[in-house]
Amino acid sequence: MKQKNIKSILLIGAGIMAISGAFAWHEIVKPSLAATAEHGDGHGHEEGEESHDAKKEEHGHGHKKEEKGHDDHGEGEEAEEHEEGGLKLTPEQLSASGVKIFEVKKGSLSHEVSVPGRIISDADRIAQIVPKVSGVVIEASKNLGDTVKKGEVMALIESREMAEAVAEHQAASRAVELAKTTYNREKTLWEKKVTAEQDYLAAKNEWHEAQINVDLTKQKLETLGHTSGKGTPSRYHELKSPLDGVVIERELTLGEAVDTSHKAFTVADLSVLWVETAIAPDDLPFVKEGQEAIVQGADRKDTGKLIFVSPVIHPDTRSAKAIIELANPEGKWRSGDYATALIVTDTQEVGVVVPNEAIQTMEGKPHVFVKTPDGFEKREVSAGKSDSQHVEILSGLQFGENVAIGNTFTLKAEAGKSEAEHAH
């Protein structure tokens, strides 16, 4: 018991001494460290705390800078999104792109009957040229594809028949001159009572018969196509074109013997063509002569006019033949080509319309490119009814705005590339 008391007293004393030592260190050492820090000597704990606080503050400021930079980036994205869909084009670039401008306006849509067709030559503008006499070809000056004028000589045929006809006409001409001389003499003698009236009347009759014979031989030459007085030898037959056109067939060669059944050339005026179509019985009540027809081929489209609708339905095809007249001044259409004809049977007034070529599908929705001062702006629209040429715009466009037509796929490609770069 006594030992326990002694041990307790010793532990209490050791604790008092530890407390006293800590207090003394705090009172003595701390002022010394503070003094050292004031003189710049050493690296005290407080300096470390201040340095840590400073670094912490700098780190905090760094976060603020980063946050500010992040905000700036957000503003840039917003600006880019604001410009998204806008394509800048200079007037030179616009001209080179082939893009054209269409002003949005009120229009109409057509009800159309669509029929297949085939391009053929106008029956009134095609000619098969055959010789009017038998003979041998000694000259052929026109080939396939050559342009000819009406009355132009295409070939020369040496013909005995032509030579005989010319000789007959020349003989008849000389005979009429002789008969006229005889008549004048007999008339003078009869008036002077030198000869009988019977001789005078006989001479007059012979002169009239000679005149008739001259007329007959002349008509024969004209029928054979002989042209007198132009230096052409009497034995030659000139093969001439009866119209302006193009040689589309040639079936003769030099030295070849031909006759009046031989088709030598075919000449066609291709400035106007026909589109031959067939109208189904169900569509016949809506189709009438004089209606417009939109003829569309592989790479072209033009407007023609319906000029004939057959009153008879063909027993094999169960359709009525129809003919569309199609102007072809530049020769873009070719006889023999196939085409589709849209016969406009009725029209309906609608609101805003644009050509079909103005619409581009992007992201599964219809879009147009609206003209801006700097270029074009991509804009989504709502489309309504349409025909072969125009589409109704229900929303997204206003009257007077200008949209791109023709080669709009180039704008679509540029818009897609711009969006891809933006997404990247």
* pLDDT attached to residue 387: 80
Question: Could you tell me which CATH number the domain at 87-108+349-423 has?
Answer: 2.40.420.20
The pLDDT assigned to 418 comes to 65
Kindly list the domain boundaries of the chain, sorted by start residue.
Answer: 2-68, 87-108+349-423, 160-234
pTM of the model: 0.56
How does pLDDT run along the chain (424 residues), one tens digit per residue?
A: 444 444 454 455 444 444 444 444 344 334 433 333 333 444 434 444 444 444 444 444 444 434 434 344 444 333 333 344 567 766 677 667 778 889 998 888 878 889 999 999 999 999 999 999 999 999 999 999 999 999 999 999 999 998 898 899 989 999 999 999 999 999 999 888 888 889 889 999 999 999 999 999 988 888 887 765 555 567 888 899 999 999 999 999 999 999 999 999 999 999 999 999 999 998 999 899 999 999 998 888 899 999 999 999 999 989 999 999 999 998 899 999 999 999 988 888 888 889 888 898 888 899 998 988 888 888 999 998 888 788 999 999 988 899 988 877 778 877 777 666 655 5
Please list, in sequence order, all residues whose beta carbon lies within 8 angstroms of the beta carbon of residue 408, skipping any fewer than 6 positions away.
99, 357, 358, 360, 369
Torsion (CA) 347, 304, 300, 379 in degrees, nearest 10? -20
- Strand-pairing partners, residue 88, are 375
Predicted pLDDT at 422: 59
CA 133 to chain centre: 48
Q: How many CA atoms lie within 13 A of 44 on its CB side?
A: 16
The CATH class for the domain spanning 160-234 reads: mainly alpha
Cβ-in-10-Å burial (0-12, 13-18, 19+) of 354 comes to buried
Question: Is the fold of 87-108+349-423 the same as that of 160-234?
Answer: no
Which residues lie closer than 8 Å to 3 by C-beta, 6 or more apart? Answer: none
Structural tokens at position 422: 């933006």
230 to each of 226, 227, 235, 236, 287, how far by Cα in Å? 10, 7, 13, 12, 53
